[in-house]
Structure 1
Amino acid sequence: MQSSSKMSEAVVAGADAADLASLPVPGHFPAATVRDSDVDIFKDMEDKDVRKSLFVDQVPMPELAPDEALVAVMASSINYNTVWTAMFEPLPTFQFLKQMGKRGGWEARHDLPYHIVGSDASGVIVRTGSSVRRWKVGDHVVVSPAYVDEQEPDTHRDGMLGEGQKAWGFETNFGGLAHYAVVRASQLLPKPTALTWEEAAVNPLCASTAYRMLVSDRGASMKQGDVVLVWGATGGLGSYAVQLVLNGGGIPVGVVNSEAKAEALRSLGCEAVINRAELEEGDPTLLERPDGWKKMGRLVRSLVGEDPHIVFEHVGRKTFAASVFLARRGGTVVTCGSSTGYEHLYDNRYLWMRLKRIIGSHGANLHEQFEVNRLITRGHLVPALSKTYTLDEVGEAARSVQTNQHIGKVGVLCLAPGPGLGVTDPQARARIGERRLNMFRA
Structure 2
Amino acid sequence: MSSLATAPAAAVTPADPVDTTLPADYVAAHLRVEDVDMFRGVGDKDVRKSLRVGRVPMPELAPDEVLIGVQAAAVNYNTVWSSMFEPLPTFKFLAQYGKQGGWAARHDRPYHVVGSDAAGVVVRTGSNVRRWKAGDHVVVNPIQIDPEEPEAQADAMLGDHRAWGFETNFGSLAEYSVVRASQLLPKPAHLTWEEAAANPLCAGTAYRMLVGDRGARIKQGDVVLIWGAAGGLGAYAVQFVKNGGGIPVGVVSSGEKAEFVRRLGCDVVIDRTELGLTGRTADDPAEVVKVGKRLGGVIRRETGEDPHVVFEHTGRATFGVSMFVLRRGGAIVTCGSSSGYQHAYDNRYLWMRLKKVIGSHASNLLEATECNRLFALGRVVPALSALYPLSEVAGAARQVQENSHFGKVGVLCQAPRPGLGVTDPDLRARIGEERLNPARLRLDGWTA
Aligned to 1:42: 39
Report whether the alignment pairs 1:77 with 2:74. yes
- Structure 1 range deviating more: 290-299 or 145-154: 290-299
What is the root-mean-square deviation of aligned Cα atoms in Å? 1.4
Q: Structure 1 length as normaliser, TM-score?
A: 0.96
C-alpha deviation, 1:23, in angstroms? 3.8
Aligned to 1:427: 426
Matches of 1:407 and 1:13 in 2, distance apart? 29
Aligned to 1:319: 318
SS of structure 1 residue aligned to 2:435 = helix
Q: What does 1:267-278 correspond to in 2, within 5 Å?
A: 267-278=263-274
Aligned to 1:247: 243
Q: Are residues 89 and 251 of structure 1, via their aligned partners in 2, closer, same or farther at CA, if it must alter by over 3 Å?
A: same
- Structure 1 range deviating more: 104-113 or 14-23: 14-23
C-alpha deviation, 1:11, in angstroms? 2.4
Aligned to 1:409: 408
Q: What does 1:191-210 correspond to in 2, within 5 Å?
A: 191-210=187-206
* Partner AA of 1:80 in structure 2: Y
Aligned to 1:101: 98
Aligned to 1:369: 368
Report whether the alignment pairs 1:285 with 2:284. no
- Report runs of 4+ in structure 1 exceeding 6 Å deviation: 16-19
* Partner AA of 1:312 in structure 2: F
SS of structure 2 residue aligned to 1:237 = helix
Q: How far does the alpha carbon of each residue in 1:90-146 deviate from its partner, in whole angstroms, 9 at most, with x for none?
A: 111111100011110000000001110000000000000000010001000000101
SS of structure 2 residue aligned to 1:318 = helix
Matches of 1:335 and 1:329 in 2, distance apart? 18
Q: How far does the alpha carbon of each residue in 1:293-341 deviate from its partner, in whole angstroms, 9 at most, with x for none?
A: 2221112111211111000000011111111111110000000011111
Q: What does 1:2-41 correspond to in 2, within 5 Å?
A: 4-15=1-12, 20=17, 22-41=19-38
Matches of 1:225 and 1:171 in 2, distance apart? 38
- Structure 1 range deviating more: 4-13 or 40-49: 4-13
C-alpha deviation, 1:55, in angstroms? 0.6
Matches of 1:16 and 1:157 in 2, distance apart? 36
C-alpha deviation, 1:13, in angstroms? 3.8
**8 Å contact 1:324–1:333 — kept in the other structure?**
yes
Q: Are residues 397 and 189 of structure 1, via their aligned partners in 2, closer, same or farther at CA, if it must alter by over 3 Å?
A: same
Matches of 1:429 and 1:17 in 2, distance apart? 18
Matches of 1:59 and 1:220 in 2, distance apart? 42
SS of structure 2 residue aligned to 1:319 = helix
SS of structure 2 residue aligned to 1:160 = helix
Give ranges in structure 2 of 5+ residues lacking alignment: 442-448
Q: How far does the alpha carbon of each residue in 1:198-225 deviate from its partner, in whole angstroms, 9 at most, with x for none?
A: 0000000000100000001100010100
Aligned to 1:309: 308
SS of structure 1 residue aligned to 2:72 = strand
Matches of 1:234 and 1:106 in 2, distance apart? 39
* Partner AA of 1:341 in structure 2: G
Matches of 1:29 and 1:17 in 2, distance apart? 23
* Partner AA of 1:310 in structure 2: V
- Structure 1 range deviating more: 271-280 or 418-427: 271-280
Q: Are residues 254 and 16 of structure 1, via their aligned partners in 2, closer, same or farther at CA, if it must alter by over 3 Å?
A: closer
Matches of 1:22 and 1:269 in 2, distance apart? 44
Of 125, 140, 144, 2:141 maps to 144
Q: What does 1:77-226 correspond to in 2, within 5 Å?
A: 77-163=74-160, 165-226=161-222
* Partner AA of 1:297 in structure 2: G
**8 Å contact 2:122–2:138 — kept in the other structure?**
yes
**8 Å contact 2:20–2:124 — kept in the other structure?**
no
SS of structure 1 residue aligned to 2:292 = helix
Of 58, 64, 79, 1:61 maps to 58
C-alpha deviation, 1:440, in angstroms? 0.8
**8 Å contact 2:13–2:423 — kept in the other structure?**
no
- Structure 1 range deviating more: 262-271 or 415-424: 262-271
Q: Are residues 292 and 25 of structure 1, via their aligned partners in 2, closer, same or farther at CA, if it must alter by over 3 Å?
A: same
Matches of 2:13 and 2:415 in 1, distance apart? 17
Q: Structure 2 length as normaliser, TM-score?
A: 0.95
C-alpha deviation, 1:9, in angstroms? 2.9
Q: How far does the alpha carbon of each residue in 1:133-181 deviate from its partner, in whole angstroms, 9 at most, with x for none?
A: 1000100000010111112111111111112x11100110000000000
- Structure 1 range deviating more: 381-390 or 5-14: 5-14
Q: Are residues 198 and 309 of structure 1, via their aligned partners in 2, closer, same or farther at CA, if it must alter by over 3 Å?
A: same
Matches of 1:136 and 1:89 in 2, distance apart? 37
Q: Are residues 15 and 276 of structure 1, via their aligned partners in 2, closer, same or farther at CA, if it must alter by over 3 Å?
A: closer
C-alpha deviation, 1:432, in angstroms? 1.0
**8 Å contact 1:6–1:23 — kept in the other structure?**
no
Aligned to 1:328: 327
Q: How far does the alpha carbon of each residue in 1:381-421 deviate from its partner, in whole angstroms, 9 at most, with x for none?
A: 00000111010110110111111111100000000001011
Matches of 1:387 and 1:393 in 2, distance apart? 12
Same amino acid, percent of matched pairs: 64
Aligned to 1:259: 255
